[in-house]
Chain A
Amino acid sequence: MTLLSFALILKYCLVSSLFAVAMFSSAQVARFLSFAALGTAFLAAGIGRHHLTGFVLVDCGILIAVAATVGICTSVIAALLHGVAGVDRVTAGVITYFLAYGSGLIVADGGMARLPAKISPPSVLAANAIMSAALLSCVGLLVFYSTRTASGLRAIAFSKSPEFAGRFGSFGKVSDVVPIYLPALFFGEFIAGLGGCMSLYLEGSTSLNYALQPILIGVIAAGVAQFAAWRARIWVRLLITLAISTLWALIFAIGADLQLPQWAADMKEGFVALALAVVILFVQGVVKTFQQARRPA
């Protein structure tokens, strides 16, 4: 078994374990597995680095800095989804994870495209991607579970308790001002923007195919958020998000050279991760709907 295939196995173990976390976890199990995943990811990344003789330290630093920044952002999004939009904690955690995972892959694969092909086997860089994705999850967990300040943040951000409303003064007003679809739009735009920026960064120009990526990512991401925010008129909100994401992404298509380059296969895992989130949340939504339908009035 080569180091490379070992890294691949680790990667898929990681993905499947986190998938399991997303589906079945309690908070404690999720935390434990997330940290376990982090360790695994570092191991995988270490194996990957072994091959990456040309991967300069600066790139690693940038990757980690970006990962940490995005991690904090995604944690805040999770907090907003939970505290403001009323999405339950596990679902918000799932969204955070897949957001981190998908964007981590995109960021890391972006780094791969900059490297000479001979020293950038995709799987090895995917291991780096997982490292960054796990790092994002870790940052989120650290922010919300470890520090003293986090206790306060959690109490405020995650609190739907009316006891705190009068103390912090924003319970009713925030929910009035921030409609439920705003986090969803933000979420979709964020992913779409990330994809679009990466395509610009990689190609140095826009192209139709790269414009399609942010459309798809945006739509999928918005779909995740919409399904998570499982309330009435979900399809209307989904269509609105889809329309805005499409419009946004079409801006990138303006001036495209209309050539049809190869699909960015390196990014497919990001799509898969987000699509998994859609499936999970769709199933959750269907189950919840059936439960509600069967509940006696």
Chain B
Amino acid sequence: MNIESGTVIRVKRTRRRVLRIDMRMELGRSFVVLIGPNGGGKTAMLKAVCGFGPFEAWPPLERPTRFLYLDHEPLAGIEPELPAIDVARLYLRESERYVRSWLSGHENIESTLRQAVLGRAPIAEISTGQRQALMMLCAAKLNTQLCAFDESFSALDPVQFDRALRMVSAIGASLRASGGVVIIATHDYEVMQQCVAAAETAQLPIRYVKVKDGVATEVATAADQLSRDTFNRMYR
């Protein structure tokens, strides 16, 4: 999966936003961090890479057939009264019995969330952080080509965040084997550093991409090249 240098992605809905990518991204066996101010185009880029409409891209992007996209407010479009276990069951395409036994024995799920899910609580009764944790858990189980995390850790508590990092590492290792890519967008330097550490554990090459004013540019390829000052300067 590649994005050619000079790719232009036009966001149809507003007809004004245009994202230009000034680099060549070979999206395979890599861990890409998107950094940039609000409204810069990070989400637009993530969605375009996943093949979401309404976008127009030239040259056309090769759309992944199996991908995962988690934003900061997961399951927002799902019917709120759908039981969370049904969400997981549909998401994993497994039977409820299987999901129950899987969740019962899983160490990376917090007990309150486990009880809520096994008790068929509707997703409306599950907090944003718990939804993020649940979707991360499910995501770690999937075999995808592309994992896109758009501020997906913003509502996690420290314990859940540690668990999420372990899952990022597991996802990274799996994608390294299959030639896939992990892309994260975040505004938090600490979160970025910890995600990068997880990616290093998974032995994935890391690339830092600044997305600002609709232009995506690669800024670094190593963690030591991106100090906090450099990170902060990207927002100015």
A contact set with B: CB distance below 8 Å: 27, 151-152, 154-156, 158-167, 169, 171-173, 175-176
Partner of B53, one of A159, A166, A173: A173
Instruction: Report how far A165 CA is from B81 CA in the complex, Å.
Output: 20
- A163 near B135 with CB under 8 A, answer yes
CB neighbours (8 Å) of B51 from chain A are 172-173
> Who on chain A is nearest to B46 by CB?
A162
B224, chain A: closest CB distance, angstroms: 33
Partner of A166, one of B54, B64, B81: B64
- A158 near B52 with CB under 8 A, answer no
- B52 near A151 with CB under 8 A, answer no
CB neighbours (8 Å) of A155 from chain B are 78-79, 82, 86-87, 90
- B69 near A162 with CB under 8 A, answer yes
A-B contact pairs, 16 of them (CB 8 A): A155-B87, A159-B78, A159-B79, A160-B76, A160-B77, A161-B78, A163-B68, A163-B70, A164-B78, A165-B67, A166-B69, A167-B91, A171-B52, A172-B47, A172-B50, A173-B63
> Who on chain A is nearest to B67 by CB?
A166
A97, chain B: closest CB distance, angstroms: 18
CB neighbours (8 Å) of B74 from chain A are 161, 163
> Who on chain A is nearest to B83 by CB?
A151
Instruction: Report how far A205 CA is from B15 CA in the complex, Å.
Output: 49
Known: A161-B75, A161-B76, A164-B91. A176 touches B70 (CB 8 A): no
Instruction: Report how far A113 CA is from B24 CA in the complex, Å.
Output: 70
Known: A151-B82, A151-B86, A158-B79. A165 touches B70 (CB 8 A): no
Instruction: Report how far A158 CA is from B54 CA in the complex, Å.
Output: 18
Secondary structure dominating the interface of A: helix
- A169 near B90 with CB under 8 A, answer no
CB neighbours (8 Å) of A165 from chain B are 50, 52, 67, 69
**Across the A-B interface, the 6 shortest Cβ-Cβ residue pairs:** A160-B77, A161-B77, A166-B67, A172-B52, A172-B53, A175-B53
B3, chain A: closest CB distance, angstroms: 16
Q: Does B228 contact A (CB under 8 A)?
A: no
Given known contacts A160-B76, A161-B76, what 19 new A-B pairs fall within 8 Å (CB)? Answer: A151-B86, A151-B90, A154-B79, A154-B82, A155-B78, A155-B79, A156-B90, A159-B77, A161-B75, A161-B78, A163-B69, A163-B70, A163-B74, A163-B75, A164-B90, A165-B52, A166-B64, A166-B66, A172-B63
Instruction: Report how far A160 CA is from B54 CA in the complex, Å.
Output: 13
> Who on chain B is nearest to A89 by CB?
B79
Mark B77-98 against chain A: 1 for CB-CB distance below 8 A, else 0.
1111111001100110100000
Tell me the B12-26 residues at the A interface (CB within 8 Å).
none
CB neighbours (8 Å) of A160 from chain B are 76-77
CB neighbours (8 Å) of A171 from chain B are 52-53
Instruction: Report how far A165 CA is from B142 CA in the complex, Å.
Output: 13
CB neighbours (8 Å) of A27 from chain B are 80-81
A82, chain B: closest CB distance, angstroms: 10
> Who on chain A is nearest to B70 by CB?
A163
> Who on chain A is nearest to B48 by CB?
A172
CB neighbours (8 Å) of A151 from chain B are 82-83, 86, 90
B223, chain A: closest CB distance, angstroms: 28
> Who on chain B is nearest to A174 by CB?
B53
Known: A162-B52, A176-B54. A167 touches B93 (CB 8 A): yes
